[in-house]
C-alpha cells in the first residue's frame, strides 16, 4: 500500500512538472505557423461534421421544361418533383458512422498535434543549438589562444636553436586548423539562426529556453502523444470495421415524393386537343434492402485485418518508446559522467592556475604558463556547460513525444 501511495505521489509530481513544462513549450512558433495549424484543426472539425452527417441523404429537387412541335403546333411539357429516400435503420450502420466520424476527428487532431509538436521541438532544438554554438565558439577562441601561446613558445625555442622546425610547423598547422574550425562554427551558427527565424517570431538572443528534467517512465508512457494517436486510430478502425459489416446487413429507408406535371397545346394524330389540367400528387412509403455482394467477405476481412494490424502497431510503438526512453536515460548518464570529468578537470586546472600564479610572482613561471592554465580551466568549465546543453537536447527527444491533452 505504501509503495502504491509513493508511486501515486511520484506520478503526480511528474504530471505537475510535465504540465508546467508543457506551458513552457508554447509561443515558440511564428504566428504564420500557428495560423497554419489553426486552419488544420478547423478543417479536421469540418470534415468530421461532414462525415458524421453523411448518412443523411439529400432531398432531390427536380424540374424539367420541354418544348416541341411535332405537328406544326408548339406544345410545352413541364415537370417538377421533390424526392426523399432516407435510410433510418442500417443494422447499426448509422450509429457506427457517427462514432467513426468522431473517432476520425480525434485521430486527425492527434496527427496535427504530432506534426505541431515536432515543429515546436525543432524550433527549441535550433535555439538550444544556437546557444551551444556560442559556447563552442567561446571554447574555440580559448583553444586558439592556447595554440597561439604554444606557437609563441615554440618560436622562442626555435629561434634559440632548441627546437626543430618541424615542431614549429606543426604548431602553426594546429592553430590554423582551430581557426578554420572556428570559421565553420560561426557559419553553422548563422545557418541555425536563419533556420530559427524562418519558424519563430522570437528574438533568439533573448528567447528563454525551457529547462527540461527527466520524467518517470510511467509518466512518459502515459502522456505519449504517439500512443494516443495510435489508440485513436485503433478506435477509428474498429468503428470502420463495424460500419463495413453493417453495410451488408438489412437497411430500412423511408421514401416520399411530390410531383407536378403540366402539358400545354397537346395534339393527337395531327389534331389539337384541349390541354389537360395540371396534375400533382404525392407518394410515401418504405423500402427494405440488403446487398448480396460476392466480395462482402473479402471487404470485411480487409477492414478486420487493418484493425488487427493497428493493434500490433500499438504494441510495437510501446516497445519503441520504451527503447527511446532507455536510450535517452543511458545517454544522460553518459553526459553526467562527462560533466563530472569536466568539473574535476576544471578543479584541477584551478589549483594549478593558483599555484602557477604564485610561481609566476616568484619568477619561476612565465605569463604564458599563467594564461595557458587559465584558458584550460575555462575550457573545462565550458565543456561542462556544453554537456549540459547536450543533455537538454537529449531530453527534448522525450518531450517531443509527450502531450497532456488533445
Gap between the Cα atoms of 95 and 245, Å rounded: 13
**Mean pLDDT (whole number) for 100-120:** 95
Res. 17: pLDDT tops 50: no
Separation CA 44–CA 298 (nearest Å)? 30
The confidence score (pLDDT) of residue 278 equals 84
Cα gap 243→96, rounded to integer Å: 5
Confidence class for position 16, pLDDT limits 50, 70, 90:
very low
What are the domain boundaries of the chain? Answer: 10-55+96-120+195-250+295-399, 59-89+251-289
pLDDT tens digit string along 174-212?
Answer: 999 999 999 999 999 999 999 999 999 999 999 999 999
- Which pLDDT score is estimated for 272? 62
Q: What percent of the chain has pLDDT over 90?
A: 72
Q: pLDDT (tens digit, 9 = 90+) per residue, 51-107?
A: 898 888 999 999 999 988 776 677 888 999 999 999 988 888 899 999 999 999 999
Instruction: Average the pLDDT over 19-29 and give the result.
Output: 67
> pLDDT for 278-300, tens place per residue?
889 999 999 999 988 888 899 99
Q: Read out DSSP for 136-170?
A: HHHHHHHHHHHHHHHHHHHHHHHHTT-S-HHHHHH
Residue with cell 432531398: 59
Amino acid at each position: 500500500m505504501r509503495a502504491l501511495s509513493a508511486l501515486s505521489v511520484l506520478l503526480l509530481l511528474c504530471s505537475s512538472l510535465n504540465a508546467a513544462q508543457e506551458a513552457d513549450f508554447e509561443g515558440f512558433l511564428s504566428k504564420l505557423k500557428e495560423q497554419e495549424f489553426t486552419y488544420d484543426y478547423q478543417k479536421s472539425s469540418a470534415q468530421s461534421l461532414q462525415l458524421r452527417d453523411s448518412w443523411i441523404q439529400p432531398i432531390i429537387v427536380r424540374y424539367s421544361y420541354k418544348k416541341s412541335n411535332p405537328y406544326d403546333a408548339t406544345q410545352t411539357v413541364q415537370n417538377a418533383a421533390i424526392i426523399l429516400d432516407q435510410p433510418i435503420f442500417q443494422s447499426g450502420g448509422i450509429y457506427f458512422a457517427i462514432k467513426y466520424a468522431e473517432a476520425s476527428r480525434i485521430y486527425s487532431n492527434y496527427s496535427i498535434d504530432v506534426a505541431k509538436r515536432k515543429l515546436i521541438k525543432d524550433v527549441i532544438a535550433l535555439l538550444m543549438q544556437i546557444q551551444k554554438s556560442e559556447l563552442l565558439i567561446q571554447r574555440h577562441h580559448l583553444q586558439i589562444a592556447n595554440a597561439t601561446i604554444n606557437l609563441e613558445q615554440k618560436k622562442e625555442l626555435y629561434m634559440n636553436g632548441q627546437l626543430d622546425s618541424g615542431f614549429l610547423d606543426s604548431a602553426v598547422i594546429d592553430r590554423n586548423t582551430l581557426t578554420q574550425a572556428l570559421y565553420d562554427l560561426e557559419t553553422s551558427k548563422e545557418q541555425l539562426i536563419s533556420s530559427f527565424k524562418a519558424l519563430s517570431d522570437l528574438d533568439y538572443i533573448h528567447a528563454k529556453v525551457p529547462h527540461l528534467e527527466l520524467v518517470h517512465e510511467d509518466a512518459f508512457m502515459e502522456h505519449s502523444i504517439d500512443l494516443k494517436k495510435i489508440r485513436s486510430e485503433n478506435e477509428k478502425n474498429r468503428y470502420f470495421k463495424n460500419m463495413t459489416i453493417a453495410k451488408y446487413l438489412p437497411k430500412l429507408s423511408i421514401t416520399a415524393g411530390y410531383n407536378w406535371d403540366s402539358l400545354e397545346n397537346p395534339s393527337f394524330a395531327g389534331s389539337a386537343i384541349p390541354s389537360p389540367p395540371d396534375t400533382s400528387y404525392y407518394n410515401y412509403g418504405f423500402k427494405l434492402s440488403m446487398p448480396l455482394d460476392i466480395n462482402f467477405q473479402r471487404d470485411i476481412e480487409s477492414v478486420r485485418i487493418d484493425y488487427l494490424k493497428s493493434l500490433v502497431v500499438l504494441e510495437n510503438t510501446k516497445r519503441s518508446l520504451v527503447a527511446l526512453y532507455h536510450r535517452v536515460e543511458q545517454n544522460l548518464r553518459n553526459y553526467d559522467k562527462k560533466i563530472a570529468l569536466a568539473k574535476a578537470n576544471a578543479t584541477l586546472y584551478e589549483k594549478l592556475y593558483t599555484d602557477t600564479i604564485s610561481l609566476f610572482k616568484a619568477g619561476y613561471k612565465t605569463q604564458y604558463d599563467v594564461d595557458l592554465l587559465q584558458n584550460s580551466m575555462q575550457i573545462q568549465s565550458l565543456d561542462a556547460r556544453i554537456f549540459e546543453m547536450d543533455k537538454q537536447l537529449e531530453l527534448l527527444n522525450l518531450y517531443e513525444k509527450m502531450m497532456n491533452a488533445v
